[in-house]
Each structure stands twice: as C-alpha cells, then as structure tokens.
Structure 1
C-alpha cells in the first residue's frame, strides 16, 4: 500500500438509499469502492408483496380492517390529488382509438376522492386521514403528527411520503393505480412499511396483473435487482430521472452490457495511467471538462 499502509483509509463517504443499476454505478462511481448493505435491520421481517386485482379488492379491505383492529396502521397511495377533469361526455365524444385511453386516465385514483370513499363507505368506523402536497404546511404537519400518535388509522396520500417517513407501526402499504408508478418509486413506497417488528404488507392494486413492473416487485425486494429490471424495461434513456440524480439522459444502450462497461473502465484506466492529463486526447479532455461543468456526481 501507499506509504507502507496495507490499505488507505478513505476520506470520502457517499451514501444513498436509492439503488441504481450496477452498470450505471460502475460507470459513474468507477473509481470508488462500492459497498452494499443488504442485511435487514435486526428484528425486521420481509415485506409480503401482492398484486390485488379488482375482484380481490374487498378481500384486501377485510384484511386491512383486521390489521387495524390488531393495532397496525395503513398508508394508501394515489397517483393524483384531484379527480381527473375528463367527464363522460368528453370521453364519449373522443375518437374510438383514444376513448379507451381517456377512460383509463379518468379512472386514475385521486387522493381527495379516495379519502372520502374510504372514510364514508369502506372504513366508516376507522379514523382516515389525508396528506398531499397542496395542503398548507401546518395541515401536513398535523396529518403526520396524528398518524405518528396513532390518532389516524389510515393515511391517504400522494407520493409526498416516498422518502423521509418513518412510522414503525405502519404495516400496510396500499398503492392504488400501482401500474402508473415506476419500479424505483414503488420500491420507495414499499420501504415506508416494514420498519418495525410487525409483519408488513405491500398491496399493489391494479387491473393489469401481468404488468412486468408489478411482477418484479412481487418476486424481489433487492433494490439493485429492481433497478436492473427497471433499466431493461424502460431502456437507458433518463435512467433515474434528471430531477432526482442531477445528470442528463444517458443515451447509451451499452449500459445494459455490464461486460462492455467493465472493459471500458479498464481501457480508461490504462489511458489515464499513461496520460493523466489527457494531453494526447484533447477532444476527450474537452468532453470531460464539459461533463464536469454540467454534472454533480455526489
């Protein structure tokens, strides 16, 4: 090791709870040691994930009621805040090829609508709360405080609870219109439960039970594995979302090929070993400088 040390002590540690495909990790963090924490915290159990078709909805409701009666709490996620403004007349007057799609869009679950339905019709005997991004700050804080203090049994929300929420007593994640979300987001939602000692469940409500993303969620809880699956399903364009990761689209089909990525890394190392400042490669050096100005990789 350098200076007689067997191994240098790192002076930089970057942590992320959001997994990305292994090939992308090798490309971006190629000069760093990548460590994965796969062990679950002591006392936690594997989350049971199921796709719930329309005909099984009442059965799921009955199970949720029994869990709440046992002291557990529930998250209900909806893709929208307000019901879609498309009315029956607008759908009926549309061209035939667009009618089915518009009907599906109009049927997407909305938080306010679902909150009223669950509160009045499905669970009138339970305490149902609501949370979404358009609420005032004090209203959002009260909704979360009531849930934390167990004054609320069921919290109907948008994706605002995707990260930064830790309620160990929440044991059920119920996701309406689950096929409308990406794999990474579904994985994040599921991570909001299973944070205590109780058995937890993630119910993916959808009429499309053969959806490949939902199938992947059922069979795997490994974030990196799901990220690889997401890459295969969506392609390399906008791999993780520019807004979340801070870099633009990678239009590189080769990111699916881990062998090619590893060979490319080795070739890059050889070039940098012989020519660290890339004096013989002005075009490459220029591209790297341009990349550094635009991208923040930490």
Structure 2
C-alpha cells in the first residue's frame, strides 16, 4: 500500500531504513534525501538513493564523518554545516583507556553504578566464540556476568541474530530498568536512548573504528548525569593504541574524524572505498590543504575554459582514466 501511494505521489515524506534503497521503492518526484548516521551507508547505497530522482539534493548527517566524506569537504565538493554545541545540560563523556581486556579493572565501578540505581552497557565485537579470532563474545560474557551478578543485578543480552520481537522486548526491559546490565554487540550504536544508562564497557576496543566507538559511547550521555566509557584492549600495537587515545583526548566528532583521516586515509574520492591511502605520491590530504585549495581553483579555471585545446585534451584524459569510478562520486 505504501509503495503504491508513494509511486502515485500521495506520500510527501517517507521515513525508512536501508529498505528505501530497494528497487521496488519508486518516488513520483523525489527532490530531497536526508541520510541520518551517514557512516552507516556505503557509497553505492547513497548513489542508489540519489538516482531515485532527478537532480536530488542530498543532506548527510553524522556525529563523526567517515574519512572519505571529510576528504570531500576538504576538496570543496561538499558544503558543510557544523553544530558545535551539545544539547543543554549535557556533559561530555569521560573516556578511559584500559590496556587490559578484563572486567576486573572496572568491576568496582560497575557495582558502584548499580548501587546508585544506574545501568550499564557491555559491548563485544562478536556474538559467539570463534576459532578464527580471539575476542570476547556476547554469549560468553553474558553467562559470566549473569553468574557474577546473581542476586545483585539482572543481566540481559542483545545481538543481531535475535528476532525483532526479542530485541524489542530486551530494549523495553532495559528502558524500564528491569535489566541493569546489557551485554550487546554494536546493534545499540544508534537509535538507543536510555537516559539512566551512564556506564559503558567496550571489550577489544582496538577492533572498532573511531567513528563507531564515538557513536557507541554517545549512548551513555543521554542526560545530565556524567557518562563514563571504558575502552578495554590487550593490543600492544602502538598504532591501535594511538587511535584509541584520540577518543580519550577529545569528544569533538570532527577532530576524531580528522585523526581517522590522517591514520586511515580517505579511501577513493573517485570510487567506493571509504577509507585507505589515496594514490598521492607526495601530497598529504590533511597537511596540504592550502595547495589543495589552489589546485581546486586551477581545476575550475580549466573547466571554465574547456574549449581550449590544451584544457580539452587534459579533461578527456582524466575522464578516460577515471571512467569506471566517476559514477560513484557523491
């Protein structure tokens, strides 16, 4: 019914998940797309949304832009509006890096929060035990915490393999404080608003992206009470630890994204990779913004005088070299 009404122009505003990308979703005259939590969409997915209309305006919203998007803003291919302030009464999340992948370091803090009547998230990168990777998993941690906190707090579990009904029931119980400790995968990353949950423990923190960690810790700063996020890791890799220290030192999403860009690279501006080193021989995308700005002006000058032989040959050559990638541009 919704698809039919949408096609006929009887629906003016449609709100949906990634299901909007599906081929059978047809708009009569799509003019504007808003993608909230932009980092959850791939390049091709964003392209498919835009192609559902003619000359569609596109607004991307995110607390932490992925490296590729930040690079696009530096190149001047994307207008940007920054909201610098937090909602009234909110405090910044306090983030603590623990170089030990063990619950014992945070046990006293968890008990203290529960005694205060607060709630806790415990986040793992895997649902169940695996022979291929050595990480803490949701099911094992859930069983361990259920035994450890028996008679003290109720422990719940949440992950992507559960049915929608099961997930909704668990979140309802957590929202009503019937569950005090929620062991979960990253399914809580967006769209979860439990003001009473003010403590988060993230196992194997080095396995998550900076943007993802920033989004996750935002779950424990939904009210005026101080939120605390513990990043647990046993990684000895200095690059991984350097990334995690970025989160300890700042709560600014753009600073985090800029550091992510410096460490991971911007991916393909003409292409679909959303991170990774660009094909520059000498340039540095973060440090060389002045020459990038000058280059942009030179490019516009060439395009505005495309009829000149030298410019025309250069444009044709660039188009020829990037033909496959041009269709993926934002």
TM-score (norm 2): 0.70
Determine which of 280, 296, 303 is the counterpart of 1:272. 303
After TM superposition, list the pairs within 5 Å mapping 1:1-298 onto structure 2: 12=57, 14-17=59-62, 18-21=64-67, 24-26=71-73, 30-54=76-100, 57-85=103-131, 105-106=133-134, 108-122=135-149, 124-208=151-235, 211-237=241-267, 251-253=278-280, 254=283, 255-256=285-286, 257-275=288-306, 281-286=315-320, 290-295=324-329, 297=330
Structure 2 unmatched runs, 5+: 1-55
SS in 2 for 1:251: coil
CA distance in 1, matches of 2:299, 2:225: 49
Kept in 2, the 8 Å contact 1:23–1:258? The answer is no
RMSD: 3.1
Q: CA deviation at 1:56?
A: 8.1
Q: What do residues 152-178 of structure 1 show as CA deviations (whole Å, max 9, x unaligned)?
A: 111111111122222222211210111
Offset, 1:183: 1.3
User: 2:154–2:181: 8 Å Cα contact kept in structure 1?
Assistant: yes
2:60 aligned counterpart, secondary structure? coil
Distance 1:290 1:141, change over 3 A: same
Q: Which runs of 5+ in 1 are unaligned?
A: 1-10, 87-104
Shift of 1:261: 2.4
Q: In 2, distance between residues paired with 1:165 and 1:55?
A: 25
Tell me how far 1:249 sits from its aligned partner. 6.2
Distance 1:163 1:55 in 2: 24
Task: Give, in whole Å, the separation in 2 of the partners of 1:85 and 1:282.
Answer: 51
User: Is the Cα–Cα contact under 8 Å of residues 20 and 224 in structure 1 kept in the other structure?
Assistant: no
Aligned length: 262
Whole-angstrom distance in 1 between the partners of 2:60 and 2:307: 28
Change (3 A) 1:116 1:181: same
Q: Deviations over 1:81-108 (max 9, x none)?
A: 001236xxxxxxxxxxxxxxxxxx33x1
Residue 62 of structure 1, CA deviation: 1.1
Q: CA 1:176 to 1:247, structure 2 compared with 1: closer, same or farther past 3 Å?
A: closer
Given that 2:128 and 2:138 are in contact with CA atoms closer than 8 Å, whether structure 1 keeps it comes out as yes
Say if 1:215 and 1:238 are closer, same or farther in 2 by CA, change over 3 A: farther
- Offset, 1:53: 3.5
Q: Residues 101-152 of structure 1: CA distance to partner in whole angstroms, max 9, x if unpaired?
A: xxxx33x100000001111125651011101111112111111111112111
